[in-house]
A and B are shown apart, each in its own frame.
Chain A
Amino acid sequence: MVYEWLNERLDLDRFKKKYLTKVFPVHSTYFFGEIALFSFVILILTGIYLLFSYTPSSRLVEVGGKKLPAAYHSILLINSQPLGVIIRYVHHWAAHIMIAALILHMIRVYFSGTFKKPREINWLVGMVLFTLAILAGFTGYSLPFDVLSVVATGIGYEIANSIPYIGPAIAKFVFAGQFPSPGSVPRLYMYHVVLLPLLLMVTIGLHMLVMVKQKHSQPYQNKDIAKSGKILGIPLYPQQLSLMMFVFFFTLSVLFFLASFLPVHNVEYFGPPTLQTPMVKPDWYLLWIYGIIKLIPGNWVIPLGSSASISPEVIGGILLPGVIMTIIALVPFMYKEKEPLNYWEPASLRPIGTSAGVAFIIMFIALSVTGYQAELNIPITVCRVYTIALPIIAFFITYFIIRKKREV
């Protein structure tokens, strides 16, 4: 009844025919992107719940004779609500899962060669999306305003502040004065709940729009079954939708499981900001930058006249990560393809690209291990050697395996 009434006015039949029958190819690695998307949805939903009680202010409030920052106190109040603490942990875990899923999704796209023409645009959009997700993670980390938040965000401020010439102005603008100023928490809050989610929604929308317009890439075995230009898979409704619902609820249940057994960012344990600095490590997805900062020798200073210089923090915290991310972003433009690629391409057809991909993954792992250099008691010179040597070794091993395989 309702459907017919609406259909007469909106021509829903046409919509159904055009979109609900859209074909989705099936492969387990297609779910990485979906998991990232669903984590984002969960982040928004749990985030709205947290917004009901969070106070974005570092002003001190008196609670039971103790002076606590208002933001920190509001987190304690959230934790005291019946479902508060678990929803906070689900929110935090969802951020980790989203970034992990984005990385796996990117690895899949890279090794299946589907970043090539015509999908260069979506590779770039994906890189922007990934960067925004990391920024959202960083700003979110600062909001509980416990001692860890303040130290970690303070380090971010100092890295920006150390850029020659423009650094101090940028840092003061972004953090609303010298961190932690009274304006810092409201400003980071605005980035975290308005600006970054908005930009993320736009980039996610663009990513999907381009994907729908270009159609999915397909596993290469589909080439022999489906006619060229056709997609072999299942329709959006009802088959793909049921799969998606399964993935959504599976993600949600895994998040609740993680939140129940592995509490993250326990503010009561860390306590409100103090003069002392606790042992801090950035989240795992920034550990590689932390590793670079530790590797750069303190005397690596590039002088720029008498009033400024490029300090090791700028080299390790901004320049090198920027170069690495730019190289990754430019990957599709290193290939000259005449024909558009619509099926996955075996990784062995790109021996250099595949070997470089493995080398990059090994490099990220080596740098992250370097983040724990002091705890593992590895001398820093050993770290410097293996961070350079292991990726090169990995490159050649992969390269020769591929060559051997092709000869057979």
Chain B
Amino acid sequence: MADKKIRDFYTTRRKILKGMLGAAGAGALGCMLVPFGTIKAPSGKKGRQKIAKGDRLVYAVGPNAGKEIKVSDLAINKGTLAFPKGKEEHNNLILLFRAKESEFQKPTKINYTVDGFCAYSAICTHMGCTVEWYPEKQFSFDFPHLFCPCHQSVFDVFHGAKVLAGPAPRPLPQLPLMISGGVIAAAGDFDGPIGPQPGGK
């Protein structure tokens, strides 16, 4: 009887010690993970500069990149990627195009268009790829539309860039336009948040 008691005492003590050893080891290893939590990411692009009234639009790509876009540059059914001058940041990328004025319907903000010119954010609201201007028939869409090459979302340019097909969750924000001295300019900032929203907000 006494033997069993002594044996139990030692085995219990051994179990406690083993448990403590395990806890100490796990704790020590866990502590080593802490430094990783203190790593700071280098600051990348943060937000964007807001587009202001009177910011002139310049070509974003192509041989004319950086040059101002004149009213006479774009014929009907032509489109281009543009930036507000001096605020050439990825999230300020604009898709500017020209169409017949009579084609625009609500929910397009018709007062945002000028002389058939209309502009939307070029950053797809799904995964942030750059949308493209398709004036001709593509798939079953036989009218001008914006198309995202990543997941094939299609936006209806005449109805406020509403999503016609594909996984994009929201229409593209529209940019108010005006003409100043024969050059296309912004008349304010986009009417909604740009690109995909973090945390599914």
Contact = CB atoms under 8 A, between A and B. Distances in A.
Interface of A: 151, 154-155, 158-159, 161-165, 167-168, 171-173, 176-184, 274-280, 290, 293-294, 296-299, 301, 304, 307-314, 316, 373-374, 377, 380
A179 to B, nearest CB: 8
Interface string B121-154: 0100011111110000001000000001111100
A280 B130 contact: no
B116 interface: no
Contacts of B43: 177, 181
Interface residues of B, number: 38
A171 B200 CA distance: 13
A155 B167 CA distance: 13
Nearest to A276: B130
Given A280-B150, A307-B199, A275 B167 contact: no
B194 interface: no
Contact of A276 (B44, B61, B169): B61
A278 B132 CA distance: 10
Nearest to A312: B167
A275 B81 contact: yes
Given A155-B150, A180-B44, A278-B149, A162 B61 contact: no
B201 A183 contact: no
A310 B149 contact: no
B46 to A, nearest CB: 8
B90 interface: yes
A373 to B, nearest CB: 8
Given A177-B42, A310-B200, A373-B152, 20 more contacts: A159-B127, A162-B200, A163-B200, A164-B199, A167-B199, A168-B198, A172-B41, A178-B44, A179-B44, A181-B41, A182-B42, A275-B60, A275-B81, A275-B122, A276-B132, A280-B150, A299-B169, A301-B200, A313-B196, A377-B139
A392 B46 CA distance: 48
B149 A279 contact: yes
B151 A275 contact: no
Contact of A182 (B39, B44, B166): B44
Contact of A298 (B81, B150, B169): B169
B157 to A, nearest CB: 18
